[in-house]
């Protein structure tokens, strides 16, 4: 299995309505699976509620949450990025008949459309976890590398993953540094307390024969005195260092007041919700892209380009190879995921104890977990594609994948209208299992809608609109 510089013309011609059939299947599977974790944010199953479940490992909610997290959290977005990376190469190599716009120009226009649509999804539909904006940015950055040999693309994917792993370790090192600074501040506060107690005894405010409780009460009164305040007050830097660590610990643990406040904010009208979510969206589409997104999705897109180059998506590997790859990669990914789940519980319950037991963060292997499981799922689907008995199921996934942009947009529309305050306002009202029941309903709508639509049209409505914008002409869409 020797790497080649890129897919052959014959490989590029294996398409389903302009898209590689295998890629459509993988994309469709990922789009449907994406909703299993997106529904957490739509429905109000927040990080703090998850933290509550993670601390009760014997409860059924913990088992259900852990299973979904291990199998789906982050993996479906990575699968989409792998498919997207392969799609970059196919689009750049494609020449649209009767059009003066070449593949390179079409690719850049497509990325700009995705960026604009991503901003709309984030800032207008108020979806903080949008993928389109990040995909658009990363797609432009990776354009220069699309024609590299497969070996170089694999290396690029590994390098990006290692940088992502390094950033996770860096953040962990920052947490340790914050804890050490906090300990210094606490020692200073203790010195203040000891000095105040000694001064109180010396000045006669506190008697040495007083009980411990009396001494504590009187010492607090001394600390409240203006003279004591002047001498025994932390400076602004020390206050910041103390607050930073205490704020981190508070964010990890379940806080019923915080959850109640979030529910109230998310059930308000559109304008109030916009101000409530604005900062979250801005952080995701600015610092979030720079800090994590660019490395996470670059790794996956590079991998998608490399897999396309070796003929992975064109069924050139044997059935045995696909099956072995799926078993090995899924097993490795699940092993990394089990480590993350186990250490997440310890981190939430006692982060200081976690420092003593582990030299690496709970999410150290998260980048590899995502890539291994996503590639393992893709390998499994490629193996299933070789089984004639499952072609009907594969066509369903393909239909959803061919309408990937429309279906993604539809998920955001349905999710926000169903749960947000400017819609039906069911945010925070469903139990975890009920959210997955909602996923099943939306999934059924998308499958039936996709299959039905493609009986009459070549492209989905958003796919058709984007293609018309890219090539600056109206394409016939009826079959």
Note the pLDDT of residue 190: 76
The values of phi and psi at residue 457, to 5°, are -130, 155
Tell me, what's the pLDDT at 195? 56
Q: Helical H runs in 225-365?
A: 226-231, 236-252, 256-266, 270-284, 287-288, 294-309, 319-349, 351-357
- Does the pLDDT at position 18 exceed 70? no
Choose among 366, 462, 455: nearest CA to 412. Answer: 462
Residues 6+ apart with CB under 8 A from 31: 76, 80, 400, 401, 404, 407, 408, 411, 446
In the three-class reduction of DSSP (H, G, I as helix; E, B as strand; rest coil), residue 457 is classed as strand
Residue 188 has pLDDT above 90, yes or no: no
Is 314's pLDDT higher than 80? yes
pLDDT band at 187 (very low <50, low <70, confident <90, very high): confident
The mean pLDDT value for 334-352 works out to 95
Residue 167's alpha-carbon distances to 73, 110, 351, in angstroms, are 19, 30, 19
199 vs 338, more confident: 338
pLDDT beyond 90 at 319: yes
DSSP tally for the chain: helices H, then strands E:
22, 0
Long-range (24+ apart) CB contacts under 8 A made by 236-241 are 238/185, 238/188, 241/178, 241/181, 241/182, 241/184, 241/185
Q: 85-136: per-residue pLDDT in tens?
A: 999 999 998 888 878 889 899 999 999 999 999 999 999 999 999 999 999 9
Q: What is the DSSP letter of 146?
A: T
30: CB partners within 8 A, 6+ apart = 76, 77, 79, 80, 83, 374, 401
Q: What is the dihedral of CA 446, 448, 452, 458, to 10 degrees?
A: 30
pLDDT at 448 over 70: yes
Residues 193-227: tens digit of each pLDDT = 665 555 555 555 545 555 555 555 555 555 555 44
What is the reported pLDDT for 9? 39
Place 5 in a pLDDT band, splitting at 50, 70 and 90: very low
Mean pLDDT value of segment 149-173: 96
pLDDT at 137 over 70: yes
Structure-block tokens of residue 368: 């590899």
Element (H, E) at 396: helix 391-402
Return all residues near 29 (Cβ < 8 A) that are at least 6 apart: 79, 377, 381, 397, 400, 401
- For the chain, what percentages of helix, strand and coil (3-state, to nearest 5) are there? 75, 0, 25
Q: Could you give the CA distance from residue 426 to residue 29 in angstroms, rounded to a whole number?
A: 27
- 46, 114, 90: which is closest to 285 by C-alpha? 114
Contact in structure between 190 and 242 (CB atoms under 8 Å): no
* Distance from C-alpha of 143 to C-alpha of 130, rounded to nearest angstrom: 21
Question: Has residue 1 got a pLDDT over 70?
Answer: no
| pLDDT score of 20 | 85
Per the CB < 8 A criterion, the answer to whether 370 and 69 are in contact is no
DSSP state of 232: S
Residue 450: pLDDT band (50, 70, 90) is: very high
Residue 136: how many other CB atoms lie within 10 Å: 21
Instruction: Quote the percentage of the chain above a pLDDT of 70.
Output: 87
Confidence of residue 232 (pLDDT cuts 50, 70, 90): low
Q: Is the pLDDT of residue 164 over 90?
A: yes
pLDDT given at position 97? 82
Residue 427, token pair as written in the block: 């945010």
Question: For position 213, what pLDDT does the model report?
Answer: 59
pLDDT for 166 beyond 60: yes
Q: Which residues contact 106 (CB under 8 A, 6 or more apart)?
A: 91, 92, 94, 96, 470, 471
Mean pLDDT of the region 241-245: 89
Which residues are within 8 A (CB) of 139 and not within 5 positions of it... i.e. 6 or more apart? 84, 88, 107, 110, 111, 114, 301
- Could you report the per-residue pLDDT of 382-441, keeping only the tens digit for each? 999 988 888 899 999 999 999 999 999 999 999 999 999 999 999 999 999 999 999 999
pLDDT in tens, 70-84: 999 999 999 999 999
Q: What is the mean pLDDT of the chain?
A: 88
């Amino acid at each position: 299995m020797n790497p080649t510089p890129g897919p052959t013309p014959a490989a590029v011609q294996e398409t389903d309505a302009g898209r590689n059939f295998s890629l459509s299947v993988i994309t469709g599977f990922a789009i449907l699976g994406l909703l299993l974790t997106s529904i957490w944010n739509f429905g109000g199953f927040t990080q703090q509620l998850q933290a509550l479940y993670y601390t009760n490992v014997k409860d059924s909610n913990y088992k259900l949450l852990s299973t979904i997290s291990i199998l789906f959290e982050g993996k479906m977005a990575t699968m989409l990025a792998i498919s997207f990376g392969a799609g970059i190469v196919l689009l750049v190599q494609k020449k649209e008949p009767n059009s003066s716009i070449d593949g390179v120009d079409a690719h850049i226009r497509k990325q700009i459309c995705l960026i604009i649509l991503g901003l709309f999804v984030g800032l207008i539909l108020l979806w903080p976890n949008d993928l389109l904006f990040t995909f658009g940015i990363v797609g432009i950055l990776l354009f220069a590398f699309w024609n590299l040999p497969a070996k170089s693309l694999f290396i690029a994917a590994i390098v990006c993953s290692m940088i992502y792993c390094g950033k996770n370790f860096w953040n962990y090192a920052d947490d340790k540094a914050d804890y050490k600074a906090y300990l210094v501040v606490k020692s200073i506060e203790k010195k203040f307390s000891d000095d105040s107690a000694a001064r109180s005894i010396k000045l006669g405010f506190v008697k040495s024969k007083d009980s411990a409780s009396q001494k504590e009460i009187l010492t607090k009164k001394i600390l409240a005195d203006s003279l004591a305040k002047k001498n025994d007050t932390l400076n602004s830097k020390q206050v910041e260092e103390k607050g930073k660590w205490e704020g981190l610990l508070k964010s990890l643990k379940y806080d019923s007041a915080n959850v109640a406040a979030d529910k109230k904010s998310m059930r308000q009208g559109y304008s109030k919700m916009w101000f409530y979510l604005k900062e979250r969206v801005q952080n995701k589409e600015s610092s979030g892209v720079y800090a994590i997104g660019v490395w996470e999705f670059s790794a996956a897109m590079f991998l998608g380009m490399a897999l396309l180059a070796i003929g992975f998506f064109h069924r050139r590997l044997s059935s045995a190879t696909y099956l072995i790859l799926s078993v090995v990669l899924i097993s490795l990914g699940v092993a990394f995921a089990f480590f993350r789940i186990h250490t997440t519980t310890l981190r939430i319950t006692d982060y200081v104890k976690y420092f003593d037991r582990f030299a690496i963060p709970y999410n150290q292997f998260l980048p590899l977990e995502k890539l291994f499981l996503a590639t393992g799922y893709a390998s499994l689907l490629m193996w299933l594609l070789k089984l004639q008995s499952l072609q009907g199921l594969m066509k369903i996934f393909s239909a959803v994948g061919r309408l990937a942009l429309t279906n993604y947009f539809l998920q955001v529309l349905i999710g926000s209208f169903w749960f947000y305050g400017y819609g039906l306002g069911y945010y925070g009202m469903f139990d975890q299992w009920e959210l997955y029941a909602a996923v099943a309903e939306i999934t059924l709508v998308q499958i039936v809608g996709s299959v039905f639509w493609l009986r009459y049209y070549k492209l989905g409505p958003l796919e058709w609109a984007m293609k018309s914008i890219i090539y600056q002409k109206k394409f016939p869409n009826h079959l």
